[in-house]
């Protein structure tokens, strides 16, 4: 506890944390089974990271350092969950954690590309996606709101997802070629 960094480091910490937050979230989601847990773990991770910030060596990679904390917090969270929940086994968690870190940069480019692709969709498609991904809702409930059967709604969303992923991939290839 007494190791907490002096207050003047606070802004540095916030700046670093904010700039890595997106990557960390994706990383944590790969280990956990829902987004609500991700929120909780990110919360804990931010607090623990700040408490331990004095130990962080500025010459090293903040992402790797924070990801180690996030990984530990995720495991703690998974252990707290009851046994009947579907939790990946440790071997898979290790693999996912390791590869997510290696893949960080690519994933970030993919997110940027996905956002661009998302912006290109028409309003109706955007509305559907917004409906499907509002926080805390379930697919079959929003399907009812959209006036479709769950199955039809699910298929539409799947098609949109696939086209977004394709679009992002094309974009990344193009920018890779031109760079």
Partner 1 sequence: MKRDIHSLIQSWLNGDITPADFEQLQDELLHSPEARQQLRHEINLDMVLRDHACSSLDANLTPWVQENPPARNSKSNANPFLRSWVPWAAAAGIAALLTAGVVIRTQRNSLQASAKVEETNQGAAILTRVSNAVWTDQTHSPRSGDTLGTGTFKLASGLAQIEFFSGATLLVDGPAEVEIHSPWKATCHSGKVRARVPPPAQGFVINTPQMEVEDLGTEFGVEVKPAESSTEVHVFEGDVNATPIGSKLVHLSEGEGLRRCNAGITPLKGNRSKDFVCLERMDALTQNRAKTRFAAWKEWKKQYCEDPRLLAYYAFQRSCNWERAADNDAPKVASFCTGGIVGARWTQGRWPEKDALEFKRPGDRVRIRLSGEYEGLTFACWLKVDGLDRKYNALLLTDGYEHGEPHWQILEDGRVMFSIASPPTSDGQTPEAQAYYSPIVFTHSNLGRWHHLAVTYNAISGETTHYFDGRQVSRELPPQQPPGCTVVYGPCEIGNWGLPAAGHEFPIRNLNGCIDEFVIYKNPLNNVELQAMYQAGRQD
Q: For 6, phi and psi rounded to 5 degrees?
A: -65, 150
Smallest gap from Cβ 149 to partner 1, in A, equals 16
Q: Which of 72, 129, 146, 156 binds partner 1 (CB under 8 A)?
A: 129
Contacts for 33 with CB less than 8 Å, ≥ 6 apart: 85, 86, 87
When asked if residue 21 is in the footprint of partner 1 (CB under 8 A), the reply is: yes
Contacts for 121 with CB less than 8 Å, ≥ 6 apart: 129, 160, 164
Token pair 């298929």 in the structure block, residue:
155
When asked if residue 152 is in the footprint of partner 1 (CB under 8 A), the reply is: no
Per CB under 8 A, which region of 53-61, 64-72, 94-102 contacts partner 1? 94-102
Q: For 39, phi and psi rounded to 5 degrees?
A: -55, -45
Closest by CA to 157, choosing from 149, 31, 38, is 149
Cβ atoms within 10 Å of 60's Cβ, excluding its own:
9
Instruction: Look at residue 160 and give its three-state secondary structure.
Output: helix
> Which of residues 27 and 65 has its CB atom nearest to partner 1 in the complex?
27
When asked if residue 107 is in the footprint of partner 1 (CB under 8 A), the reply is: yes
Give the interface with partner 1 as residue ranges (CB under 8 A): 1-2, 4, 7, 10-11, 14-15, 17-18, 21-22, 25-26, 29-30, 33-36, 39-40, 42-44, 46-47, 50, 86, 88-89, 91-92, 95-96, 99-100, 103, 107, 110-111, 114-115, 118-119, 129-137, 139, 141, 158, 161, 164-165, 168
């Amino acid at each position: 506890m007494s190791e907490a960094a002096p207050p003047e480091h606070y802004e540095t910490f916030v700046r670093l944390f904010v700039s890595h937050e997106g990557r960390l979230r994706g990383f944590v989601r790969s280990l956990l089974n829902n987004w609500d847990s991700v929120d909780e773990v990110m919360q804990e991770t931010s607090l623990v990271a700040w408490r331990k910030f004095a130990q962080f060596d500025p010459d090293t990679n903040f992402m790797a350092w924070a990801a180690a904390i996030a990984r530990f917090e995720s495991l703690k969270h998974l252990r707290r969950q009851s046994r009947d929940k579907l939790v990946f086994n440790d071997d898979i968690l290790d693999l996912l954690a390791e590869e997510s870190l290696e893949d960080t940069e690519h994933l970030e480019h993919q997110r940027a590309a996905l956002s661009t692709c998302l912006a290109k969709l028409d309003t109706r498609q955007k509305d559907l996606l917004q409906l499907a991904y509002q926080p805390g809702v379930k697919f079959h409930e929003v399907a009812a709101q959209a006036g479709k059967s769950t199955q039809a709604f699910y298929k539409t969303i799947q098609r949109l997802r696939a086209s977004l992923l394709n679009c992002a991939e094309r974009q990344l290839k193009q920018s890779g070629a031109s760079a």
